[in-house]
Amino acid sequence: MARQVGGREPVPVAGLWRALGLTLASAVVWGVAHVAAGRRAAGFTLMGVLALLLGGAATLGLAFQEKLKQIAVQGTWLNVITVAILVLALAWAAIIIRSYQVVRPAGLPTAMRVASTTLVVVLSLLICTPFVYAANTTYVLRDTLAKIFPGDDTSGQKVNASDPWKGMPRVNVLLLGGDGGKDRTGIRTDSMTVASINTKTGDTVLLSLPRQLQKFQLPPRLRSRWPQGYTGDPGDQGLLNELYIEAQRHPELLPKYKKASQRGPHLLEEVIGYLLNIKIHYYVLVNLSGFKDIVNAMGGVTVHIEKKLPIGGEPERGIPPSGYLMPGTRHLTGEQALWYGRSRHADDDFHRMDRQKCLMRDIAQQADPQKVVTHFEKLAKAATNTIYTNIPSALLPALVKLSGTVKNGADIHSLPYNPAKIPGFHVYEPNVLIMRRAAARAIAQSDNPQQSKPTATVSATAKTNKRKTSRVSPSATATSSGSGAVSLKNVCG
């Protein structure tokens, strides 16, 4: 259908609407416009290419999910993916524009030609927008990984690229929660947990040390400085959570590390490894002042609160709390989650240690892909400012694979160094042999659950919990073996 304008040649309006319709169709299915224009070879070729791309993407997504997760933490592959996404975006835009060109009617007035071309360009930009977003997200991920795993701290276990876990039946990672902030000098590590992970099964033991461990024995090389056990500097209490600051103050304690930020974690690695008789391969430090930003970026976290917990306050100085976290299943903001893990005036440090492990578990379980994608840039920024580690980037693919094993059925046992759960253990002048035996027993039970009746009972309880949800207080009783290790399912409910 053509429309007469001022005695001039007819304007092919119907042809223009048909061209725009075919262009829109070609934006969804490549080649439609080409086939309609009689260019069948080109049209069917474009359709075939699109089918291959979609089929390949579906196959990768369904059949190679675990491999894709491992690729997603490798900088080189992320660069390749970023470039590939941008190339695909440009190709898609070019196909849309070319599709319009092959079906555009001749003889359009300038105004219509400009308007229709503008519409096609806008359509191309709309199609490209999700690709550009995906490319930017991939770039942000690569940049975040590069900042968190910079590679300038080579103190951790060297990585065998062909077999990362060769000679490592377990990988031991020291998890530290530090209270650094604008209102504090230095960092006190109020949360110290060794995650000992079986590299084949993913079964994990969390060995948590109390921050108030005092006058403990030190490795031989440090005894000349503290022959009667750790007492810190004059005026210090000599607590385990002061070691980080000790290393920052005194470079001579670890002369091979020039950066104060590296000396703290490594001194804790050395001392805690000695106390538990465990070789610690890597550390991860989470600055608690930025932890709340991570929780906020993922939209909060839901936890089960056993008892009324005060937010802030200093009872010994007569300062009341600013509020309370009430019992029950609650969805917490980042600030509230931080206080859930830090509050200690309602009970003791041992309950707080249990809450911290439950909080880590809840965050890991609730960080679903949709939340991660929709809040990715906020999460990346928060993580960059919050997480510090000496885990080499070359180990990330193996760790991603191992974490999948942990999530898919591996059991996580918790051993808090609590005098009420480990016979003979005391926080003041602790017996190193008792600490080591408890750690060795908990790890042995994790590796050989069938050989340990108490652990078998815990596993049976865990299976029952899957059928009937029950809540167990973080002060869950110890196993009869005396190791104090219980399934985290029983600790957190």
The pTM of this model reads: 0.79
Which CATH architecture does the domain made up of 170-405 adopt?
3-Layer(aba) Sandwich (3.40)
Note the pLDDT of residue 468.
Answer: 36
Q: Which of 217, 212, 219 is nearest to 240 (CA)?
A: 212
Report the alpha-carbon distance of residue 2 to residue 11 in Å, rounded.
Answer: 5
Note the pLDDT of residue 127.
Answer: 94
What is the pLDDT confidence band of residue 456, given thresholds at 50, 70 and 90? very low
Q: For 294-326, what is each residue's pLDDT tens digit?
A: 888 888 899 998 888 988 887 777 788 888 899
Q: Which residues pair with 487 in a beta bridge?
A: 413
Note the pLDDT of residue 440.
Answer: 95
Lowest mean pLDDT of 360-364, 440-444, 466-470, name the range.
Answer: 466-470
Residue 187, pLDDT above cutoff 50? yes
Q: Which residues contact 416 (CB under 8 A, 6 or more apart)?
A: 208, 210, 350, 353, 354, 484
Read off the tokens for 135. Answer: 């490319």
Phi and psi of 198, rounded to 5°?
-70, 120
Note the pLDDT of residue 476.
Answer: 41
Report the alpha-carbon distance of residue 164 to residue 416 in Å, rounded.
Answer: 29
Residue 454, pLDDT above cutoff 60? no
- Diameter of the chain measured on Cα atoms: 108
What average pLDDT score do residues 283-291 get? 84
Residue with tokens 């103050």: 249
Note the pLDDT of residue 484.
Answer: 61
What is the pLDDT confidence band of residue 184, given thresholds at 50, 70 and 90? very low
Residue 490, pLDDT above cutoff 70? no
What average pLDDT score do residues 4-13 get? 53
What average pLDDT score do residues 470-475 get? 39
Eight-class DSSP state of 260? H
Lowest mean pLDDT of 152-161, 442-451, 481-490, name the range.
Answer: 481-490
Q: What percent of the chain has pLDDT over 90?
A: 44
Where exactly does CATH 3.40.630.190 map onto the chain?
170-405
Note the pLDDT of residue 380.
Answer: 86
What is the pLDDT confidence band of residue 465, given thresholds at 50, 70 and 90? very low
